[in-house]
Structure 1
Amino acid sequence: MTQEQRTPLEIFAFNYIWKSGVPSKVSALSWQLLLDRIPTRDNLWRRAVIRDDDAVCPLCVGEVETARHLFLHCCVSAEIWYAVIRWLGVTVALPANVLMSYGMLVGCGNNKKRKKGLSIIWLAYVWAIWKARNNRVFNNSEVEVGAVLEDIQRFSWKWYLNTISFGPCLLYEWVWNPWECMQR
């Protein structure tokens, strides 16, 4: 897809992801996610890497694991999404696709600092779900919503601190009120 074929939201998301200050592996995963190029079980099945009966989501074991399902519509991921939304104190519905989830969350920011902070939180959401999914697949670990939310809070706090030049925010402040930290 060329630059001219992308929507304004896609251009905005791709630019923000690469300039967000998060580790490059997180930006790369998120970029691949938006392009539907991550190795979900559906993508692996389409490439004949796994059998079709192995394409089930490891988190809910209820549907085929597509990128949209894994990051939004899986009952476990949806619970995590709503936990993040409650933590932030915003009202955002469960979006139809992954790009919309980015746009809706970042759109809650009313200035550049907050948009950057919300972008980092979305990237932490993607990273934490991917890590939880892989931990489930490779270590057969249970996915606990509270633990994944704590990972999102911790990752986003560390990455956000890398982007600010003054006014550090302690982890408990970030967990208590990320909006205040994003104003510093």
Structure 2
Amino acid sequence: MCEQKAEVNNHLFIHCKAASKLWNMFLCILGVSWVMPKTTMELLNSWTQIGNRGKSEDWWKTIPACIWWTLWKERNARCFEGQNDSFRR
């Protein structure tokens, strides 16, 4: 998607330019300062602990899924529909 590295899970969903922009936007809006983990599994394992969020907050648990769904849709639009949307701007 970013045309810089191999499209593997951890890069596509956490570390590519588009993913980093999206994650940083959400974290900034939520007022959370956090260093991104290396893998998606590490991210999921530590997500409920950041920002003093409890496991009872269901909306908090949906954020990674929403971000990843958005990235997956963008990736597919670029690969299969020839679209190049707003992530690169």
Whether these two folds match at TM > 0.5 is: yes
How many residues get paired? 86
Residue 143 of structure 1 pairs with residue 89 of structure 2? no
Q: Please say if residues 48 and 61 of structure 2, whose CA atoms lie closer than 8 Å, have aligned partners that are also in contact.
A: yes
- TM normalised by structure 2 equals 0.82
Which residue of 2 is the match for residue 104 of structure 1? 46
**Equivalent AA in structure 1 for residue 80 of structure 2:** F
Distance 1:123 1:117, change over 3 A: same
Residue 82 of structure 1 pairs with residue 24 of structure 2? yes
- TM normalised by structure 1 equals 0.43
Structure 1 portions without partners, runs of 5+: 1-58, 146-184
CA–CA distance in structure 2, aligned partners of residues 117 and 130 of structure 1: 20
1:20-99 paired onto structure 2 within 5 Å = 59-99=1-41
RMSD: 1.6
- Displacement of 1:140: 1.6
Q: Please say if residues 48 and 55 of structure 2, whose CA atoms lie closer than 8 Å, have aligned partners that are also in contact.
A: no
Once superposed, which parts of structure 1, at least 4 consecutive aligned residues long, lie more than 6 Å away?
Answer: none
- Displacement of 1:90: 0.7
Residue 119 of structure 1 pairs with residue 49 of structure 2? no
Higher relative contact order (CA 8 A, sep 6+): 2
**Equivalent AA in structure 2 for residue 68 of structure 1:** N
CA–CA distance in structure 1, aligned partners of residues 43 and 70 of structure 2: 15
Distance 1:143 1:94, change over 3 A: farther
> Which of the two has higher C-alpha Rg?
1
CA–CA distance in structure 2, aligned partners of residues 120 and 81 of structure 1: 13
- Displacement of 1:113: 3.0
Structure 2 portions without partners, runs of 5+: none
Identity across the alignment (%): 24
